[in-house]
Chains A and B, each alone.
Chain A
Amino acid sequence: MTAGDPSHRPDRFAAPDVCVENVSFGFPGEEIFRSLNFKMAAGRWTCLIGPSGVGKSTLLRIISGSLRKGFSGTVRYGTGTDPRGITAWMAQKDLLLPWLTVIQNVCLGARLRGALSDPVRQKAETLLESVGLGSHRDALPTALSGGMRQRVALLRTLMEQRPVILMDEPFSALDALTRLKLQDLASRLVAGATVLMVTHDPLEALRLGDRIYVMTGSPARIGEALVPPGKPPRSPGDREIVALQAELIERLEAGFPP
């Protein structure tokens, strides 16, 4: 890769620490979470686990920058506070546009910014080849299985070349085996970026996370990080992982004292 290569990440895009500082959110009469503080280490994979309705997705939206009003506190991306151009977002639904082909969906960001070019298409093609979807480049999303669709969504996220990647239960709708495969793939492909993945699956968090935060209670709070041993992606049969899974479930059940 040379300096002129568009796939090369310039220094300013080096993955930063992301710090959530005193972030609170609520509706009139209902506090969802109050004064959350936690840090996503640069270039590492952080998992946020918690029960449904605790506000995980909202927190993710605040970090991604798609929620701009109605909350207080600051999110720092390295030294700056502007998420534009820094974050990429991957949701539980693949959000593939049904009128675009696979490769067009992968290039969606460039298309939206009016920056669609041959190098962009070539990069998308290379990525599709690398995940075994090369022969499906001109297929429509409806012709793909759930796992394939989520792979396309993952590539679309990667194409953005953002240093901070936010994932909202991206694999929860998949069957167990497909999920494991996609977890491995994602772990390999997003290496180097600062990742925050919201999940409600303890095993998933333990397989992929460098650090795991538990978010529980009402208003919700975030506890101390759990740091599983070894490098992700970890084997689901690992004894320590199984043991930690029990601990994680305990933490989830206990919640936090008000």
Chain B
Amino acid sequence: MKLVRLIVIAAGIGVVWQGVVVLTGAPAYILPGPLRVVRAIYLHGGTLLGHAGATLIEIVSGLLIGTLLGASSAVVMMASRRVKRWLFPVLVISQAIPVFALAPLLILWLGYGMGSKIAMAVLIIFFPVTAAFFDGLRSTESEWLELAGVMNATPLAMLRYIRVPAAMPAFASGLRVATAVAPIGAVVGEWVGSSRGLGFFMLHANARMQIDLMFAALTLLAVLALGLYFTVDTTLKKVVFWQTIKEKEEEP
């Protein structure tokens, strides 16, 4: 059912797209039709896949590192009030600087390779993960903690066995947001300076007026991002099963 819906939506987008092309009579170097783009993907499949692979590695590494960093800082802030008092304002201030403005710097510091792109992705997802998880850790049901207290649990045991699992649904939604925005970080990084990746390929094709190729790269990027999102979402639903249960309960 889900797959059918997906196919219908994809087909719908294709039809609207083709409709716009026909109605506006836009030339192919401005807006190529979907069939042209499919043909471009077919003809340049190998090259595109190579670039997509590079971008995927950047996104996934960024996600892993960013999630790990975000989760640990949330736990550390929860465990120590002093750390929280100093770290949280820094985190908020850091969000005032647009990550995109940092891209040229990151490339200067970390080079043209994957490092700078991974760093971009890490920076962009760090905050949503930290904020969501920390929020979840803070809003544990107070009676659970009270029960644990009467059971003589140490603060560390409460954190480990009650707060962290109770915060997992919040953490999962942070991770979902992170998965959705991580590709932006990687692609922006590639735009500013690189020799590989879909972002680089798009810029390259754009400069040569190969708009169908550019759209091909864009399509692939969308498929990549969607695939990643669904994978993460499905995994999270299985691992953090107590959130799904809650959702079910709330349904009328």
Contact = CB atoms under 8 A, between A and B. Distances in A.
B23 interface: no
Q: What does DSSP make chain B's interface, helix, strand, loop or mixed?
A: helix
Contacts of B161: 108, 111-112
A89 B242 contact: no
Contacts, number: 60
A114 B245 CA distance: 28
A113 B150 contact: no
Interface stretch (B71-79, B141-149, B226-234): B141-149
Contact of B165 (A61, A89, A99, A113): A99
B152 A84 contact: yes
B157 interface: yes
A112 B245 contact: no
Given A88-B150, A97-B166, 18 more contacts: A61-B146, A64-B150, A87-B150, A89-B150, A93-B143, A95-B144, A95-B147, A109-B152, A111-B161, A112-B148, A112-B153, A112-B162, A113-B152, A113-B157, A114-B157, A140-B245, A142-B242, A160-B151
Interface of B: 141, 143-144, 146-153, 157-158, 161-162, 165-166, 168, 241-242, 245-246, 249
A66 B143 CA distance: 10
Interface of A: 61, 64-66, 84-85, 87-89, 91, 93, 95, 97-99, 108-109, 111-114, 140, 142, 160
A113 B153 contact: yes
A97 B144 contact: yes
Contacts of B162: 97, 112
Secondary structure call for the A interface: loop
Contact of A89 (B141, B146, B153, B246): B146
A75 B165 CA distance: 34
A66 B146 contact: yes
B245 A98 contact: yes
B153 to A, nearest CB: 4
A64 B147 CA distance: 10
A217 to B, nearest CB: 26
B143 A91 contact: yes
18 contacts: A66-B146, A66-B149, A87-B150, A95-B144, A97-B162, A97-B166, A99-B168, A108-B151, A109-B151, A109-B152, A112-B148, A112-B161, A113-B152, A113-B153, A140-B241, A140-B245, A142-B242, A142-B245
A140 B242 CA distance: 9
